[in-house]
Structure formats: structure tokens, C-alpha cells
Amino acid sequence: MTVDTEPGTATVSPARLIRSGLVLCIAACCLSAQQAAPQQYTITPGVRAILDHVSADSLRGHLSFIASDALEGRNTPSRGLDIAAEYIAAQFRRAGLEPAGDDGYFQSADFVLADTPMDAFELKLKSGSETVNVARNQVSFNIDRGLSFSAPLLKVDYAESDAVAALTPQQVEGKVVITEIPDSRREQGPRRLEMYMARQEFLNKMTGLKAALVISIDRVSAKGAGAVQGRLIDPEDRRARPEAPGTRVITVHDPRVVKLFDATKPGVTGAEMSLRLQAPVDRPVRLQNVIGLLRGSDPILRDSYVLLSAHYDHLGTRPELAGDNIFNGANDDGSGTVSVIELASAFATLRQRPRRSIVFMTFFGEEKGLLGSRYYGRHPVFPIDKTVADINLEQVGRTDSSEGPQIANASLTGFDYSDVGTILEAAGKLTGIKVYKHEQNSDAFFDRSDNQALADQGVPAHTLCTAFVYPDYHGVGDHWEKIDYANMEKVDRMVALALVMIANNSEAPKWNEANPKTARYVKAWNGHHGK
């Protein structure tokens, strides 16, 4: 799930209100298609077999591989991401799902990666008679254009907020600001987000004062990542390539620069920096959504589709970090990925299939801006007007929320935007899971995961999670050993029941038109349905 990001990743935020009479709407969800209110819904032996198939041990087995160091954090693109895609496809194949991509289980998408060559990189700091030539392996940056200039150095004490606030354009414009910005990636919990927001506020200030560049020293690690993996570009966007906004930042890991920084007073230093950086070079990359289909049994409803989705990418590695530098992403979103795998396996055991077809799908590139789900939205494998709902799974494994333990709890983004929230709530009551609306985060997190791309197409789509924020969010400590597998098993069983309830109901979920926040989604739905 995307909330805050480091440079080179992306972010994405909104809400809902429950429609009256929804209880009657859900009622038509018995496996035999009989009408019954949710509280009267009977879990048949066939459905019970699906729920019982979901296993904490199986989830642990899948996640210990998906979130292992061997996959190196599943960055988009990366070798680890490709291995994860092959593993997911293998599990869909094992379950007997129909392949639904253009290449077996893969829906292929051709993107462009703009990488910065480091062959001619040059960064010099000159102070008096001393010149420091910083090596290419002692810097980390993500700059999307070529640069070649010299400018005076201005030392700014990042920790002195009053001094930063007092800076004027006359002091800063055209100069290179050298400072020490703490690395939020080394922190845990709420402090991490606070540090990230403070960093953004500082950089916004420097942008407003027209700083030419910001150099941030790192005294913890002497090794840099060089040009952090470049920007992914969608070639289908025919507009001129936008330039990344804001002040450019280079983190320098050279102890000699740290020494120079420590020996200098805040203000104009008398030193000068010169930089030469080549422009990024485009190279093609192929990315893949992984899609499997469980064909429905009803002669008519089998041509309509319920989606269960998750993103299988994460943040990759940060070579400049000392010690553990792999962002394994066990909870975000390895937990959602293996839940899709496990539920696909469970549903494939059914002798009597649900009436509607169920699509099991994992997306690439969520952490880079919902790239895989947006690609699917533009290139749907199954008709959008026949897609009745999407339940997207994010962060369903950790129960150690920053708000306290979340045992047998699950929350939904945009809880009251459509009928889906009440369907999940009803399934939760039957399986011992409290599905609730988080008053602060339900609406605010709606556009921060892959459900948004489907909602933009008019599909009632929501993200279900156990903990919105937890100690290792986007941190190197998000390991598979920290997952509460027993609780994830229960949550996944609840999701399985909700899928059955939607798939067997002749009435498809609807947007709550009484909620003004759904207007754009209702409009999109009407457009796809000729209304």
C-alpha cells in the first residue's frame, strides 16, 4: 500500500456511505442462489470446504518465499519481480485456473525505464586549496535530467527550523544547499512518516527559494547506490514527458565531505560545487500482471466477473544502507499476494463452481504509482461492463498496528462507497471477523492502492487490510516471520465467503449514489453501461 514514498516511488487518497436496503441486496448469495438475508445465510458444506482449505501453514510457506531475500524486494522492474510472477503463475497452474493473459497467465505491458548513465559522472567540492572528487559509488540520487553547472555552497542546519524558516531567496537562489537530512528509511513506526513529511517540507522550502541543488551528507554509510533506478514511463502516454517537480537532491556518503561539512559554519561557505551528470537513457522493459480465471457455472452469470487482486511488487533494495538493505515487503504486499494464491487454490477445489466467474489477479508496479492496475484498467482482459466488483487485498498479515493489536479485525477503504462494504461485514459476522469502517483512514486511503484504478473504470472496488500503519511499513524489517498467520487465515476465510456471496448473487454490487464522493465512479459505471 502506498502512503509515503522515498524518491523514485510514487504515492497515491478518498470515501463512502451505506445504501439503504442493502441487507436485502446481499441476501441473494446462497450457493443454491436462494434468497436470504445475510444473517440467515447458511454456509453450505461446499462453501465450508473452501474456508477449511485456507491454511495458515500454506500461507506461511508461500510468503517465506515471496518475501525472501532471494527476491531482493521485488522492485519494478527487477529479476526478483520476474521470479515472483513465475511463482504466482506456477501456483495458478497448480490450482488448475484457466490462464487469462496474452502469454499464458501473464498480461504483458511494455514500459520504458529512463536510467542515468554514470560513466561521465563528476561531482567536485572545492574549498580553498582542497578539492574533493566524490566517487560515483559514494552518491545516491534520482534525477531525471542531465545537469552540468557550478555554484557556491550554502550550509543550512536542517535541524534548526527557525533558521530554515528565516532563509530568503536572496540567500538561497542559484546556490547549492549542503545539509544533513536524516534518512527516514532507518526509522520505524510513526516516526518514519514524521521524518518523511519534514523532509518534504524542507525540500518544498528549497524549491520555493530556487536552490540549484540540495546535497545531503550521510555519515552512517560510506557506500552509495549511484543513480537510483530510473523513472518508469508509460509509452502509451503521448504527452510530453513531464519533468519531476521539486528540488533535486544528491546524497553524498563520502567521509571527506562529512568532514568539510562539520568544519563549516552555517551560511555561505566560500566553497563551490561543480556537477556533471548525463541525461537519462531510455531502455524498454516488459512488465507483467498475473491473471488466472475460475470459470463460473451459471449459463448467463458466468460471463460476469468478480476480481480478487493484490500487488506483488515492493521497493527492492537500497545498497547505500548499512546492514539489512532489502525491503522484503512481507506484509506490503506479500500478504495480499499469497492470500490471492491461497484463495485461488481453495476455490479450485469446488465441484460446484460459483455462478459468476472469479478472476485472481496480481499487479506489478503498485509502489511506482498503480502502474499494473492502471494498465489493466486501460486493457481489461474481461469486459469492464461485466466486471461486478474488485476486492483488493493489502497488508492483511500484520496485526501489530500502530493503533494497537488488530486481532479478528479488518477494515475496508471507502467502506460506505458501495454495497461491497456491507457484504464483507456480513461475511465477517459469519466467520468471526469484525469488518468495520475506520473513521480516519477508510476514505483517506481509498486511492492509495490498486482498487483505485478499477474504481476509475466504474467497478465497485475497495482495498481490505488488517492494519493501515504498522511498525515496519516500507521498512527493511517487514519480514515474513512477523506475520500473524493464524489471523490471516481467518481474514482470508472471511474474504472467501464474501466472494461466494457476490459471485452467487444475481444482483451485482452498486455504488452508493447518495454519497457525493462516489459521483465520479457512478459516472464511469453509467458510461460503461450505456446510462
pLDDT tens-digit map of 90-149: 999 999 999 999 999 999 999 999 889 999 999 999 998 899 999 999 999 988 889 999
Structural domains of the chain in order of their starting residue, each with its CATH number: 22-111+285-528 (3.40.630.10), 117-279 (3.50.30.30)
pLDDT in tens, 442-452: 999 999 999 99
What is the bridge-based pairing of β-strands 176-179 and 147-155? parallel
- Report percent pLDDT > 90 for the chain: 79
Does 165 score more than 60 pLDDT?
yes
pLDDT at position 329, please?
98
In this predicted model, which residue has the larger pLDDT, 454 or 42?
A: 454
Considering Cα of 29, then 35, then 38, then 39, what sign does the dihedral take? negative
- The span from the CA of 270 to the CA of 344, in Å, is 64
Closest CA to 151 of 182, 121, 172: 172
pLDDT in tens, 331-347: 999 999 999 999 999 99
* H or E element, residue 444: helix 441-444
- The span from the CA of 231 to the CA of 531, in Å, is 39
Tally Cβ neighbours within 10 Å of residue 195: 18
Does 437 score more than 70 pLDDT?
yes
Does 20 score more than 50 pLDDT?
no
With both helix axes pointing from N to C terminus, report the angle between 485-503 and 56-66 in degrees, rounded to the nearest 10: 100
pTM: 0.86
Considering Cα of 250, then 252, then 257, then 261, what sign does the dihedral take? positive
Closest CA to 457 of 518, 379, 530, 377: 377
Show the 3-state SS of 114-162.
EECCCCCCEEEEEECCEEEEECHHHEEECCCCCEEEEEEEEECCCCCHH
Does 17 score more than 50 pLDDT?
no
- The span from the CA of 365 to the CA of 213, in Å, is 29
Does 453 score more than 90 pLDDT?
yes
Does 395 score more than 50 pLDDT?
yes
pLDDT in tens, 343-376: 999 999 998 999 999 999 999 999 999 999 999 9
Phi-psi region of 378 (alpha: psi -120 to 50; beta: other; left: phi over 0): alpha
pLDDT in tens, 245-275: 678 999 999 999 999 999 999 999 999 999 9
pLDDT at position 363, please?
98
**For 455-481, what is the mean pLDDT?**
95
Three-state secondary structure call for residue 15: coil
Lowest-pLDDT choice from 179-193, 322-336, 422-436, 505-519? 179-193
